[in-house]
Structures are given as structure tokens and as C-alpha cells.
Chain A
Amino acid sequence: MVKRRRKQVSSKKESTPATRTERNNDALSDDLDKNADHIRSVYAEASDLIFRRFYIAGKQKAVLFYLDGLVDIQELDDSVLSPLMEEFTAEYSDVKELLEKKISVSGVKEFTNIQDCLKKISSGFPVILLEGRKSGIALNLTKFEKRAIDEPPAEAVIRGPREGFVETLGINRTMLRRKIKSPKLKMKEMEIGKYSVTPVILAYMDGIAEEGLIKEAENRLKRIDIDGVLDSGIIEELVEDNPYSPFPQILTTERPDVATSHLLEGRFVVLVDGSPFVLIAPVTIYSFLQASEDYYNRFIISTLIRWLRYIFLLISLLLPSIYVAVITFHAEMVPTSLMIGMAASREAIPFPALIEALLMEITFEALREAGLRLPKQVGSAVSIVGALVIGEAAVMAGIVSAPMVIVVALTGIASFTIPRYSGAAAIRMLRFPMILLAGTLGLLGIMLGLITIIIHLATIRSFGVPYLSPMAPMMGSETKDVLVRAPWWKLNTRPHLTGKYNKYRQAPGQKPGPKHGGD
């Protein structure tokens, strides 16, 4: 069984490259009609292909191809067709000269084979082929509807830039470039997806990021052989180090400032056309607990808020399980009066605490999910019903106890303090096995679960960087951006594991204030 499957896969692999290249690699012939027919046959039944024959200066036969809706037709008419079609006497020996003298479009590319030609058409470039020439020209006149730059809703800030990435790769690229004006910002472009042919950009800082890391990233990206890339999430799953882990090993952000700050710390950023979420790697678990705002607010406050997040991370993971463990196994652990209060509220509850906790947690997750999916107008209605049903009616009806509602509500709030959604989702999911462990083995089970999670976290890596670093392995000075948010005048060095090739990011001793020992 195992063997057979293996064979099938390997045979498939061998056949793919052959069929793919077929005859599109062929060079253009000097017969215009043959070329045109070939292109039209490739695009047969694609109703949006526009095909127009015309004569340059009334003599030279030429064909124009473009995909409707992707091209700036006004510009095409004014700067290309009209100058070419008006009568002129001069002879042009080759395409290049024609381009230089007649076409007033800045972005022009010459190509000689059919595959390039098809790619250009599909990407929205108008393409012109000439009679008797073995090359054609593609004009950069793409224009299509795009979303305006907007504030990213999932990563709102009080203080900090309010712009967010959009679905258009070109705009996203310019947003990065606007932040880093140095030519050291490199952007390698590649195409991923057999059919979607999605442009993907691998951006990094030359001289800061480790070369081996960039090579590895490039290799992993190039390895991808897939039909289409609809969002960066697909790429994320295909390049991760540890695909079965619930914890994300690649950070996604919609904010150019976040992407930029990671670039400057020696990480790489992957921009994917069609997705406002860019990928950042390598990251550690702490990246998911840091908001961009941490670096813009005063450092004392940021430090406190980070600790708040750490505490609430634990609450989000452990509170329901600790509650279940304590009231089913360790009733001696709570103060007497609290214990009696909890016993009183559980007096009429039909379910054991374990079932009660699972019931409430699942209800909460359902409410959260429903709130996300429902249209905005209905959303508020759902939250009212949810609050009434789980907060009030369920307690009144004696189905769940009031302390359990408090526990679930607190857990819910706690999970929203984690700034990165993908990180929060992992913790939320792990809560359920923890509740099961607590309900069967008590505190022992919680310890068992915690140890398992910690071992797992210590195992996984993101592009070679240990997930728990700099806490495990412990790197004392690196905790300046984990345990606290050190003031900017102290953050002189880049993070060790990604930035050691260019250690210093700023001059030392920039702490403002009067000079010591002055006059």
C-alpha cells in the first residue's frame, strides 16, 4: 500500500515539467499571422482578449493584443496607436528603433519567445507583434481597479501610522520602499502558481539579513508547485518548519511599519500579490505578543502592557482548566468562604464542572465565530443575544453556574489581549485539551499539559531560529525586548539570532538629558 502510493507520486512528478513547457518556449517566428494565430488559439474562448490588426504608417503590418479591463486604453490610444498609425516616411530597421523613436511610453519590454508574450498579456500588458520580426514589445500600461490604502482593521493602533497594505503588490512594494529609501532594500521577485502566476516578492535588507537565511527562504519559495496562490496564508503553510504545530512560525501583518521594523532587524518579508498580509520570518513566540504600538508608546507603559499580555496569555490558556481542576479535585485549595460560595452556585447545576466548562467555552467560541462571519448589521444583535443567553439566562435557568460565566468571560477577554490573531487562535485551541486534562487528572493533568506544550515550543523553530529564544536558550541581553521594552536609547543592538551580521543599529549613548559632570 505504502509502496504503491509512493510510485504514483513519483511518476506524477516526473511528468509535470514536460507537459508544462510544451511548445510555449518556442521562439516567435517571423510570420506575423502564425504568431497571432498561435496566441489566439492559446486564448481560445477567453472573451476578454482583445485583438487588433493595424498598419504602422500605413505600411507595416502589426497586431495588438491585450486583456480587456487590465489596460489603460486612453493612454494606449494616445501614446501608442496614434503615433504609430499616422503616416510617416522614415524606415525603422528593427523594433528597438521603433520603440525609441515613436512610442512615448516609459515602460517597454522586448521579448522573443511566445511564453514571455503570453505572460505579458496575462499580466495586463498590451503586446504588439510586427510582421517580419522575430520579437515583439510589451508596454507597461496596466491599469485596473484597486482598493485604496486603508487602516488595517485587525491591527488598529492608537499611536502609529494608520496605513495598511492592500491587495496590489505594486502598492505594497512602494509602501515598503517609501519607508526604507536605502538601495540596500532588496526585493527579489518570483512567480508562484501554475495558473494564478502570482508575483511574490522576497524583501530583505542586504548587509543585515544573513545570506544563508535569504537563500533558504528563496529555496523554500521556489519549491512551491501549486495551482494558485490566493493569499499569503497558502504560502505560509508551504514553507513552515513545523507544519503540524498549532503555533504559527511565520508572522503576518498588514502594517508596513511592522514589516519595515522586522526588515531592519534582519528578517525577511514576503509580499504576495492579492493579499494585504505579508509574511515575516524568522520569528519567535514573543513576536506574537508584541504590538507595533509597543515601540511608539513610552517604554514604561509598553513594558507594563507586555507583562499584562503575558499574564493574560496564561489566563487565557489556564483559567478554565484551573477552575475545573480545583473544584473537582482540589477543593481544599480555595479559601473557605470562596469555596462555599462556589459550592452554593453549583448547587442546582446538572452537569459536572468539566462538561459545564466545555459547554460554555464552546458556546463562547461559537459566538465569537458567528460574530466574525455575520454581516455587520446583524453582528450587534448576535452579541446581545449571546450576552443575554450565556450571561444571564443560562445562569437563571440553572444550567451553568455564575462563577463559570465569569471564568469563561475572563478567558475570552484574555484571549483578545494577544495582539496577533494567529497566536491567539493557537492558545484558544489548546485551552480545550487543557480542560479535558484538568477534568480527568486535576492539577497533575494541567502540569502534564503545560510540560507538553513547553517541550513542543522548545522543539519548534522558525527558519532555524529557536521558537522560545531568547528565553530558551537564554540570552541575557536579548531579553531587553522581551521581558521589558527597553527604551530606544538602550536598544543599540539588533536581535542576536537574526541581526548578528550587522550587530549595531544605532550609536550608543543616545540617552537624552544634560551631560554628566557638566561645567
Chain B
Amino acid sequence: MAYGYLHFSRKLLLIVFTWGSLLVLAGCWDRVEINDLAIVLAAGIDKTEDDQIELTVQLAIPSQMGGGQQQGSGTGGPGKEPTITRQATGTTISEAASILQQKLPRRIFWGHNEVIVFGKELAEDGIREYVEFFAHHPEPRLRSYIFVSEEKASALLEVIPYLEQSSSQFARELARFQIGLRVTLKDLLERISGGARAVALPRLAYEFDNLKDKKGGLNINGTAIFKEGKIEGYLDDRLTRGLLWIRNEVHLATVSFTPENAEGYMSFKLLRSNTQLHPEIKDGKWKMTLSITTEDDIEENQTNLVLTDPKIIAELEEQLAAKIDERIEMTLEKIQKEMQADVLGFAKAFEQKYPDEWDQVKDRWEEKFAEVEIEVVSKAYIRRLGMSTQPQGIPEEEMKGE
């Protein structure tokens, strides 16, 4: 018994010693308290005149962003902005970041970076080299949203927005709505190295309400199409919608048109839509069939059509599908014929179905893509008629349908 006891106390000593040294020697080296972090919410990358990188970061000021109980009212008035932007230049992003660090009392922390904006000039020269930093560094999230700025990226980050606390949050929410394109860092990395070698990124613009204290808002203004990492051209808002439809990314959409044989507009709100790509190679001819199924609600009816009539609804469904077709054809014209940039995911679809044929054309896919014959088969269903099924303020005799 006595021996056992001594044995144990020695063992205990050993355990305490090894564990203690394990904790002290191996632990704590990367310990940083969260109040010693400079939390980057958004990063903007621009090119300077002497071909250097200008890195702009938007940093959160936690005590101004609410949540701080000591400071009382969290969201302060002028001069108490919840974020701050800081800039530094260097030959690489990493160098710029370390120069920036010299000017900051807290450690730069990329873990909560949700928005990356590339400046216009930089994007025109090519973004490939600069994306690498965000893929390489362990901290940045692969889920950050990527935008291309209409002007300088730094200007965008300096906007003090309405409704949201920071321009990064503003941009993030815009991306989430998917009214424009939504591209995360992960998507970008996948596409930039994929067979298509073309990328579409949303274009972010800003407008000031008040120039003096930089109050304003952001908006997504179309799409920038990249080929080989460089900007090839832009799509406006209308064509961007078409692009979303082709890429099966459309979530919020309202389509309005004047039905045949009627006066006034009708608006249809998208419930859900599904786009499928069916690649086909026949006798050396490459063909892609887009089959689009859309389900809609009727949201507004200015016409004299009575919606309870199945005949009218069937007509409307046909017209709606044609309307969507039309929009898609416009987009295809621009992307396929003019820009010859495959941002539609055709490359992947062909690669998956015809790997051998794909291998032969992958080096000249750009040309091949322009030759692909595209057929759009779209179908629309009207699911709900809305609260009122009869036109308002029209005498019954003038109504059409039963």
C-alpha cells in the first residue's frame, strides 16, 4: 500500500509536469484577445499610378458598432462612425498589409472579411495575381463576396451607408439578394481555373446623398465579364438578369409586359425557376439546349383580363415564356457572339458529358464556344392569381374572359 501511494505521487508529479510544460511550451503562441484585433470587414484593391497595389481595408470599431454596454448608445451621430478605412501601398497585397499593420495598434484580422472589391483599373489589367493572396492566406473566408468597382475600390469602402452599419454589410446584403450576380471567393477561384477561363463578377457602384460626410448607398450595376483575368466587357442590368436566368441563379425577379389584345401592363413575380443545360454533340456539331421552367405569381394586373379564365391564363403563360426567351436571347447574343466569354457554365457541362471531345477543344474553347448552337426551351406556369382575380375599376361589360 505504501509503495503504491509513493508510486502514485510520483506519477502525479510526472503528469503535472508533462501537462504543465505541454501547456506552457506549446500553448498560447497564437493567442490574441478579440479586443486586440483590427477586424477587417472589407478589403479594396486598387492600382496606383506607379503600378503598385493600394490596399484599402474597412475596419470595425466594435464599441461604435453596438453591443458595447459601457458606451451606452451604440450607433452614434456624426464623427462616431462604426467603421474606419485605412490604406497602404506596396508591391504585393501582403506587403501593403504589413505596411498597414505598422499604422495600426491592433493586429489585422482577415477572418471576418466578407467583401473584396477590385478597383476598375486593376480589374482591367487583370485580377488573377491578386486573388491568390486571399486563397493563400489562412484567415480570409472563402465565402467573402467579390465585386468589381465602377471606379476606385477605396471610394466604395469609404461610403457611410444608410440602413446598414457599414458599406461592407451593405454590399454583402446586396449580394445575398441575388438581384445581381453573387460570386464568392470560392466560386471565383473555381471558375478562374476552370476550363472556361472566363468569369463574371458583379459591378458595384455608389451614389452619395451628401458628399461632405460621405453618406450614401451602394448598388449593383450590372456585371463585368472577365476573360483570362482581364475585363472584356460589361453587361447592363437587363442583360445581367438574362445571365442569372441562364446560370440558374435567379431568385428575385419581376417580369412586366403588356399582354396581347389588352391594354396596360401585367407584372409577374417569380416563385421559382429552374434552368438545365443539356449539351449535345451530333455529327461534330455542338449544341446546347437550355430548358427553363419558371413558376410565377401574378402581382399586378392593369388590364381588363379576368384571371379566373383558364384560357387567358394559358395565353399569359405562353407570352411570359416568350418574354423570358427574348431576354435570354439578348444576353446570349452579347456574351456568346460579342464577347465570346463562357461565363454560362457551358464548358463544365460539355466536359462532364463529352470528356473526350472536350479534351480536343479545350485549348481553343473560346472559338468553339462562339460556334455552339443554342436552343432555348422555356416554359412558364402561373401558380397564383393574387387576392383579386378581377380587374379593378372596370365595368363588368368591359372585362375580357369569364
Contacts and interface: CB of A to CB of B under 8 A. Distances in A.
B27 A445 contact: yes
A347 B67 CA distance: 11
Among B6, B24, B27, B30, residue most surrounded by chain A Cβ atoms (within 10 Å): B27
A31 to B, nearest CB: 45
B70 A340 contact: no
Given A331-B34, A340-B60, A347-B35, A440 B28 contact: yes
A341 B1 contact: no
B23 A440 contact: yes
Interface string A332-375: 10001101111111111100110000000000000000000000
A346 B112 contact: no
B306 interface: no
Contacts of A327: 33-34
Interface string A81-107: 000000000000000000000000000
Contact of B26 (A336, A348, A441): A441
Nearest to B6: A2
A5 interface: yes
A453 to B, nearest CB: 13
A411 B361 CA distance: 63
Given A9-B1, A9-B2, A340-B62, A402 B23 contact: no
Given A9-B2, A331-B37, A441-B23, A344 B31 contact: no
Given A9-B2, A331-B111, A437-B23, A336 B41 contact: yes
A352 B33 contact: yes
Interface string B24-49: 10111011111101010100000000
B103 to A, nearest CB: 20
A437 B139 CA distance: 23
A440 B24 contact: yes
Classify the interface of chain A: helix, strand, loop or mixed.
helix
Contact of A329 (B1, B3, B30, B70): B30
A121 to B, nearest CB: 35
Interface string B52-68: 00000000101101111
Contacts of A9: 1-2
B69 interface: yes
A353 B139 CA distance: 21
A342 B67 contact: yes
Contacts of A511: none
Contacts of B34: 327-328, 331, 339, 342-343, 346, 353
Interface residues of A, number: 35
A496 B111 CA distance: 51
B2 A6 contact: yes
B109 A344 contact: no
A244 interface: yes
A332 B74 CA distance: 23
A120 to B, nearest CB: 35
Contact of B68 (A244, A345, A352, A440): A345
A341 B66 contact: yes
Nearest to A338: B67
Nearest to A5: B2
A436 B28 CA distance: 11
Contacts of B33: 327-328, 346, 352-353
B230 to A, nearest CB: 32
Contact of B111 (A6, A332, A442): A332
A418 to B, nearest CB: 26
A404 to B, nearest CB: 12
B8 interface: yes
A328 B33 CA distance: 5
Nearest to B5: A5
Nearest to A397: B70
A8 to B, nearest CB: 8
Contacts of A342: 34, 67
Nearest to A328: B31
Nearest to A8: B2
A35 to B, nearest CB: 41
A244 B35 contact: no
Interface centre among B1, B28, B67, B141 (most CB of A within 10 A): B67
Nearest to A349: B35
B69 A395 contact: yes
Which residue, of A341, A347, A402, has the highest number of chain B Cβ atoms within 10 A? A347
A109 B32 CA distance: 77
B68 A344 contact: yes
A69 interface: no
Contacts of A437: 23
A1 B145 CA distance: 71
B35 A346 contact: yes
B31 A343 contact: no
Interface string B10-31: 0000000000000110111011
B31 A331 contact: no
A398 B112 contact: no
Contacts of B63: 344, 347
Contacts of A329: 30-32
Contacts of B28: 439-440
B158 interface: no
Nearest to A341: B67
A398 B8 contact: no
B67 A345 contact: yes
Contacts of A346: 33-35
Interface in A421-462: 436-437, 439-442, 445
B27 A441 contact: yes
A224 to B, nearest CB: 14
B111 to A, nearest CB: 3
Interface in A177-192: none
B23 A340 contact: no
B107 to A, nearest CB: 10
B366 interface: no
A336 B2 contact: no
B342 interface: no
B114 interface: yes
A327 B74 CA distance: 21
Interface string B238-260: 00000000000000000000000
B3 to A, nearest CB: 6
A398 B35 CA distance: 14
Nearest to A403: B67
Given A5-B2, A339-B39, A344-B63, A398 B27 contact: no
B30 A2 contact: no
B278 to A, nearest CB: 40
A343 B8 contact: no
* The 8 A-B residue pairs with the shortest CB-CB distance in the complex, in nearest-first order: A332-B111, A341-B67, A440-B27, A344-B68, A344-B62, A343-B62, A344-B67, A346-B35
9 contacts: A9-B1, A328-B32, A331-B112, A332-B111, A340-B39, A341-B68, A343-B39, A343-B62, A349-B35
Interface of B: 1-3, 6, 8, 23-24, 26-28, 30-35, 37, 39, 41, 60, 62-63, 65-71, 74, 109, 111-112, 114, 139, 141
Given A331-B37, A342-B34, 10 more contacts: A6-B3, A9-B1, A329-B31, A336-B114, A340-B67, A341-B66, A345-B70, A346-B33, A439-B28, A442-B30
